[in-house]
């Protein structure tokens, strides 16, 4: 599976370019962390991929098929979106929420059948939340909700998983568990595109880092290539020490906070 | 879902609540109560016999007067109450889902006021039923789209924006309605408009019943067919699109058919408020959120509710109380309760 993006350019007002000539190629089994400051264009990039914004300039294709030529339903069979959080205005059960992932296989005038229930069940079992099936989503903890969203995406049977800051609303333990879950999915062959603000986690969990600034790609490479204080320090306008302890990257900002000897 | 799947999904608890049969029993009970109470009470047994006599040969043990009361007075009124209750409740349920907002309803969104204004304008011009209904529909739809358009330009609290936008559009159409009343002939048209819009089932004609029956039935069927898509539409637009739902088309279908029902109900019986807000909430409290279940539950509960309220409005005092007044007495405190609850959530 290949996801190719070439010359993607986007502007909301016709003047300021939020995405400027983005060209990238991804393939299955990659864990890509998209880093960038607020307003760097991460969300706009995702919205273009998902078809939430109409592509203005450039081409996006998956296995050679133009994304722009796919119907909403067809696109949902290739790309799944995992938002930061899901609406709990109406409290659906975990099972129904996960079943919603199978919507791309249900015709407009019909409802989930046995096949879709089976898909949902397998997805729930994969993340160990089958026992929560009858609970409502709003009664779950943040970490459990994230698992429901992951299960929903897997039930979608897409090969590209797009995560919008998956760890930002979670406590530290759930952040690590969520990242491990994504890592596991990538090992199975999914392509994960993950936007994040946490450089350290990106270095330790992702297989590839893409740095966006002002709508342009400023760096693209493996953690080993980009884990340097000059690249990342300059990117975030921060003096930082990056070292490796037991194979893990540790980033320490210089002169920040109270360091007690 | 067949038995095997139910066994496979033994952990699936949601469908265990058998509320639909209970609601069917409630509906039948209220139906008979509506005949048994009033100026000409008809007991359930006689009612069944009289109704069956139209289909099968049944020995006549009742007076012709009873038959006249049933077929010419009570039955049309009970039926139109049922259809209007079902229609207004279902349009509320659908609006709430597609706007991801439990606080909206036909009246909160301004579609009732728009429809009321359209009807009044048609009355002013002395038009017949079809134009009254058409104008009711056009202005009801216009009101919803104006509110929707307005909420697109306002940033911030989405739930409140729609409610406040609805209040503004409602007041705009109410002002327009007052203007129509002002220029209406005080001897002839003005009382007609005033009484028409107060929300009452008293002056129900056969054409009203037929229109309500057809529109509410057709709309319910269409909305029931897209029930799964409506479930997904309660999520954010980003999620719904990425799950494969054509949100623009589904939203348009839902708004058109929900507003059609509001319009036909308003054109037939005037502005009956709050039903579309209260019933969907009661349904979700007892049945959960899934449209596969809430649509039939809403139709049953909404129709039972309005039949019951109409029975009360007929019998509470010697002169009839218009039903719209009674539903407001019930609905306003309920809305207050929802606002307080919403405040606690956020």
ipTM of the complex: 0.92
Closest-approach residue (CA) in chain A for B15:
A134
Pick from A18-27, A135-144, B111-120, B198-207: least confident: B198-207
Phi first, then psi: give them for residue B59, nearest 5 degrees. Answer: -65, 130
- pLDDT tens digits, residue range B19-73? 899 999 999 999 999 999 988 889 999 999 999 998 888 888 888 888 888 998 8
Chain B hits for A113, CB-CB cut-off 8 Å, are 1
Pairing relationship of beta strands A160-164 and A191-196 according to DSSP bridges: parallel
Among B4, B229, B234, the residue with its CB nearest the CB of A89 is B234
Query: What's the pLDDT at B316?
Result: 86
Q: Is residue B233 part of a domain?
A: yes
Contact A90 B237 (CB under 8 A): no
In a domain, B3, yes or no: no
- Residues from chain A that touch B8, judged by Cβ atoms under 8 A, are 117-118, 121
CA-derived radius of gyration, chain A? 19
| Mutant choice from B237, B244, B250, B344 vs A, greatest count of A C-beta within 10 A | B244
Confirm or reject contact between A112 and chain B (CB < 8 A): yes
Q: Do B236 and A109 touch (CB under 8 A)?
A: no
Per-residue confidence band for B234, with pLDDT thresholds at 50, 70 and 90: very high
Look up residue B263 and give its two tokens: 């319009």
Residue B226 lies in a domain: yes
B81 token code pair: 């109450």
Q: Taking CB atoms and an 8 Å cutoff, what residues of chain A touch B246?
A: 71-73, 108
- Rounded to whole angstroms, the Cα distance separating B309 from A120 reads 43
> What does the pLDDT read at residue A258?
53
Containing domain of residue B174, as a range? Answer: 84-345
Neighbouring residues of B336: CB distance < 8 A, sequence distance ≥ 6:
none
Residues of chain B found within 8 Å of residue A50, distances taken between Cβ atoms: 238, 241-242
- For residue B325, what is the DSSP state? H
Sign of the CA dihedral with B149 first, then B155, B160, and B164 last: negative
Lowest mean pLDDT among A85-89, B74-78, B80-84, B166-170: A85-89
Flag if A83 and B238 touch (Cβ within 8 Å).
Answer: yes
Chain B interface includes A73 (CB < 8 A): yes
Domains and their CATH numbers in chain A: 2-226 (3.40.50.300)
Residue B75 has pLDDT above 60, yes or no: yes
Question: Is A79's Cβ below 8 Å from some Cβ in B?
Answer: yes
Task: Specify the pLDDT at position B282.
Answer: 92
Average pLDDT, chain B: 89
pLDDT value of position B170: 93
Higher pLDDT, B194 or A261: B194
Residue B141 lies in a domain: yes
Least confident piece of the model among A205-209, A255-259, B67-71, B127-131: A255-259
Can you tell me the distance from the alpha carbon of A143 to that of A147, in angstroms, rounded to the nearest whole number? 6
Report how far residue B98's alpha carbon sits from residue B246's, in angstroms, rounded to the nearest whole number.
Answer: 12
Separation in Å, CA of B253 to nearest CA in chain A: 12
Q: Are strands A191-196 and A31-36 parallel, antiparallel or unpaired?
A: parallel
Residues of B in contact with A96 (CB under 8 A): 14, 231, 290
Q: Which residue of B has its CA nearest to A78?
A: B242
* B13 with A133: Cβ contact below 8 A: yes
Best CA proximity match to B282, nearest among B267, B302, B262, B308: B302
Taking the CA of residue B223 and the nearest CA in chain A, the distance in Å comes to 9
Whether B52 maps to a domain, the answer reads no
CA distance B156 to B238: 17
- How many domains would you assign to chain B? 1
- The pLDDT value given to residue B1: 47
- The span from the CA of B69 to the CA of B152, in Å, is 52
Which range, of A8-22, A110-124, B143-157, averages the lowest pLDDT?
B143-157
A155/B contact by beta carbon, under 8 A? no
B239 pLDDT exceeds 60?
Answer: yes
Residue B17 has pLDDT above 80, yes or no: no
Query: Is the CB of B226 less than 8 angstroms away from the CB of A108?
Result: yes
Q: Is the pLDDT of residue B228 over 80?
A: yes
Q: Is the pLDDT of residue B3 over 70?
A: no
B57-81 exposure pattern, b = at least 16 Cβ within 10 A, e = fewer: eeeeebeeebbebbeeebbbbbbbb
| Partner residue opposite A103 with nearest CB, options B8, B243, B292 | B243
- How far does the CA of residue B42 sit from the closest CA of chain A (Å)? 42
Q: Do B14 and A96 touch (CB under 8 A)?
A: yes
Condensed to tens digits (0 to 9), the pLDDT of residues B317-344 reads 878 888 888 998 888 898 888 878 776 7
On chain A, the residues whose CB falls within 8 A of the CB of B234 are: 87, 89-90, 92
- Within 10 angstroms of residue B137's Cβ, the number of other Cβ atoms is 25
Could you tell me if A101 lies within 8 Å of chain B, comparing CB atoms? Answer: yes
Tokens of B51: 């109704």
Predicted pLDDT at B346: 53
Of B14, B225, B243, the CB nearest to A93: B14
B29, part of any domain: no
Q: β-strands A57-62, A31-36: how paired?
A: unpaired
Collapsed DSSP state (helix, strand, coil) of residue A217: strand
Q: Residue A52: its chain B contacts at CB < 8 A? A: 237-238, 241-242
Q: What is the CATH number of the domain that holds B233?
A: 1.10.3470.10
Residues of A with Cβ-Cβ distance to B4 under 8 angstroms = 114
* % of chain A surpassing 90 pLDDT: 80
- Evaluate whether B182 touches B147 at the Cβ level (below 8 Å): no
Task: State how far residue B297 is from chain A, nearest Cα, in angstroms.
Answer: 16
Q: Hey, of B227, B240, B242, B345, which one would you mutate to test binding to chain A, going by the most A CBs within 10 A of its CB?
A: B242
Per-residue pLDDT tens for A156-170?
Answer: 999 999 999 998 888
Residues in chain B with CB shorter than 8 Å from the CB of A86 are 235-236, 239
Residue B101, helix vs strand vs coil: coil
Between A43 and B1, the more confident residue is A43
Q: Kindly report the pTM of this predicted structure.
A: 0.91
The chain A residue lying nearest B13, using CA atoms, is A134
Q: Is residue B62 part of a domain?
A: no
Assign A256 a pLDDT band (cuts: 50, 70, 90): low
**Is position B279 within any domain?**
yes
Mean pLDDT, all residues of chain A: 92
Q: Which of A46, A87, A90, A132 to mutate to test the interface with B (most CBs of B within 10 A)?
A: A90
């Amino acid at each position: 599976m290949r996801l190719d993006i070439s010359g993607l350019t986007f502007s909301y007002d016709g003047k300021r370019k939020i995405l400027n000539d983005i060209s990238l190629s991804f393939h299955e089994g990659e864990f890509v962390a998209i880093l960038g400051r607020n307003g760097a264009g991460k969300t706009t990039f995702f919205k273009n991929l998902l078809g939430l914004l109409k592509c203005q300039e450039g081409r996006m294709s998956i296995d050679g098929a133009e994304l722009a030529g796919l119907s909403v339903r067809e696109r949902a069979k290739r790309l799944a979106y995992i938002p930061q959080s899901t609406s709990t205005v109406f409290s659906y059960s975990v099972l129904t929420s996960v079943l919603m992932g199978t919507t791309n296989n249900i015709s407009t005038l019909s409802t989930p059948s046995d096949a879709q229930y089976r898909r949902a069940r397998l997805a729930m079992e994969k993340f160990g939340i089958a026992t929560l099936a009858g609970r409502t989503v709003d009664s779950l903890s943040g970490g459990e909700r994230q698992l429901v969203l992951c299960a929903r995406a897997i039930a979608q049977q897409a090969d590209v998983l797009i995560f919008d800051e998956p760890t930002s609303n979670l406590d530290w333990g759930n952040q690590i568990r969520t990242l491990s879950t994504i890592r596991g999915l990538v090992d199975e062959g999914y392509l994960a595109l993950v936007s994040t603000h946490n450089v350290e986690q990106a270095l330790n969990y992702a297989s590839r880092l893409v740095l966006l600034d002002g709508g342009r790609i400023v760096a693209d490479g493996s953690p080993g290539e980009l884990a340097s204080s000059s690249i990342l320090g300059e990117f975030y306008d921060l003096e930082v020490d990056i070292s490796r302890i037991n194979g893990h990257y540790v980033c320490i900002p210089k002169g920040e906070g109270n360091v007690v000897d | 879902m067949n038995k095997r799947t139910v066994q496979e999904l033994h952990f699936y608890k949601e469908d265990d609540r058998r509320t639909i049969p209970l609601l069917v029993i409630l509906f039948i009970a209220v139906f008979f109560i509506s005949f048994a109470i009033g100026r000409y009470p008809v007991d359930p047994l006689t009612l069944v016999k009289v109704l069956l006599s139209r289909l099968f040969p049944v020995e006549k043990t009742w007076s012709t007067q009873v038959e006249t009361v049933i077929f010419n007075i009570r039955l049309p009124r009970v039926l139109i109450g049922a259809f209007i209750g079902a229609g207004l409740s279902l349009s509320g349920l659908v609006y709430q889902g597609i706007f991801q907002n439990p606080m909206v309803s036909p009246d909160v969104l301004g579609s009732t006021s728009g429809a009321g204004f359209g009807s009044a304008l048609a009355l002013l011009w002395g038009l017949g039923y079809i134009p009254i209904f058409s104008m009711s529909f056009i202005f009801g739809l216009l009101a919803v789209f104006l509110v929707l358009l307005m909420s697109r330009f306002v940033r911030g609290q989405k739930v409140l924006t729609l409610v406040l936008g609805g209040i503004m559009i409602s007041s705009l159409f109410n002002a327009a309605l007052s203007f129509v009343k002002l220029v209406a002939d005080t001897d002839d048209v003005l009382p007609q408009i005033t009484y028409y819009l107060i929300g009452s089932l008293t002056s129900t004609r056969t054409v009203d019943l037929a229109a309500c029956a057809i529109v509410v039935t057709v709309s319910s069927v269409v909305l029931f067919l897209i029930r799964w898509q409506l479930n997904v539409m309660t999520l954010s637009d980003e999620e719904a699109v990425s799950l494969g739902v054509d949100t623009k088309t589904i939203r348009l279908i839902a708004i058109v058919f929900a507003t059609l029902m509001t319009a036909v109900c308003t054109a037939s019986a005037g502005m009956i408020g709050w039903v579309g807000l209260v019933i969907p909430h009661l349904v979700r409290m007892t049945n959960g959120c899934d449209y596969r279940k809430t649509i039939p539950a809403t139709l049953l509960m909404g129709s039972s509710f309005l039949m019951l309220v109409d029975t009360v409005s007929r019998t509470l005092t010697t002169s009839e109380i218009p039903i719209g007044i009674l539903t407001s007495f019930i609905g306003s405190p309920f809305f207050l309760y929802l606002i307080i609850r919403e405040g606690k959530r956020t």
